Structures are given as structure tokens and as C-alpha cells.
Amino acid sequence: MRRAIYPGSFDPVTNGHLDIIERGCKLFDEIIIAILVHPEKKPFFTIDERREMLAEVLHDIKRGDCVLRVDDFQGLLVHYAISQKAHAIVRGIRAISDYEYELQMALMNRRLEPGIETVFMMPAEKYSYVSSRLVKEVFQLGGVLDGLVPAVVQRRMKEKVNG
């Protein structure tokens, strides 16, 4: 039974995240999509909203026999991973610019907990420039997000600003 954690802010979940989860399903029996609770950061969506959207969009993932679960966590990722009896941490790498930060995190996590491996996965090229940060910026400036985030995310973003 190979269990992985796919951690992140998911504020909001993008089609790039879903692409990574789908690829991860080919490698793992279970993936826990774990949202970091970041008390200092002012997020666009609350943790509950992010959980709801993730749970909804995971229905459409080609998962084979892989079990997908959504959770949130606070504190050190490796402590959370141990508490869940996970073997690996999955992270997506889009471009070389991601690599430096991801390498630092992976090596720090390995120092903290040598038993947990970080597995880097590359999303489809068509998502290589998609990030939650840019998605929010484009949305706030009136740009179209079709194909970059799931329809439910677009809808919830509009609802959020229109009240």
C-alpha cells in the first residue's frame, strides 16, 4: 500500500494540480491532497471552500484504483506525513524556476524525516505556466480562465466577488 501526500495551498485548485494528481494515481494506491492551513496568509478562499472545491473536482479524475482524500494540516509537512503513515510527498515542477525552491524543501524535508521521499512530477506542457497566484491575478483583472481552472472554481471565484 503506497500512500502519498500532495501538499499545497490550492488557493484555488488549478487544472495543473489535477493533472499532477491524475499522474500520481499511476504511482500510488492512495493520495492525500493536503491543504496547508496558513494562519498569517490572507487567502482568497477559506480552507472549507478549498476542501469543497477539491472534493468536487476529484470526481472527474481518472484515478484507476487510487484512493483520493482531501485533508488539511498545520505545522511541519513531514510531521503530518508521518501521522498519515505516508511514504512520499508529491510535488509538481513546472519549470526550472520551480526547481530551486522545491529542491530546498525536498532536502530540508529529507533531513527532517529521511524515511519520506519527495517525488517530483511534471504537468502537461499546456499547464506549465499555470499557477494559483497568476490565476487569481488574471481573474481579478477581468481575464478569462477557461481551461486553466475547473468550471466550479471559476464559478466560485465569480460568486465570491459578486456576493
Instruction: Identify which range of 4-12, 19-27, 121-129, 140-148 contacts ligand PNS by CB under 6 A.
Output: 4-12
| One residue of 93, 108, 122, 152 binding ligand PNS per CB under 6 A | 108
The phi, psi pair for 8, rounded to 5°, reads 170, 180
**Contact between 13 and ligand PNS (CB under 6 A)?**
no
Distance CA 36, CA 59 (A): 22
Give the cell for residue 156.
466560485
Count Cα atoms within 13 angstroms, Cβ side, for 6: 28
Closest separation between CB of residue 133 and ligand PNS, Å? 9
| One residue of 27, 36, 119, 138 binding ligand PNS per CB under 6 A | 36
Contact 35, 72 (CB under 8 A): yes
Give the cell for residue 160.
465570491
Residues in binding contact with ligand PNS, number by CB under 6 A: 9
**Contact between 134 and ligand PNS (CB under 6 A)?**
no
| One residue of 3, 9, 47, 51 binding ligand PNS per CB under 6 A | 9
Question: Residue 70: helix, strand or coil by DSSP?
Answer: strand
**Contact between 77 and ligand PNS (CB under 6 A)?**
yes
| One residue of 82, 93, 105, 119 binding ligand PNS per CB under 6 A | 105
Give the cell for residue 111.
533531513
Give the cell for residue 163.
456576493
Q: Select 8 or 123, whichever has its Cβ closest to ligand PNS.
A: 8
Indicate which residues carry an active-site annotation: 17, 41, 94, 132
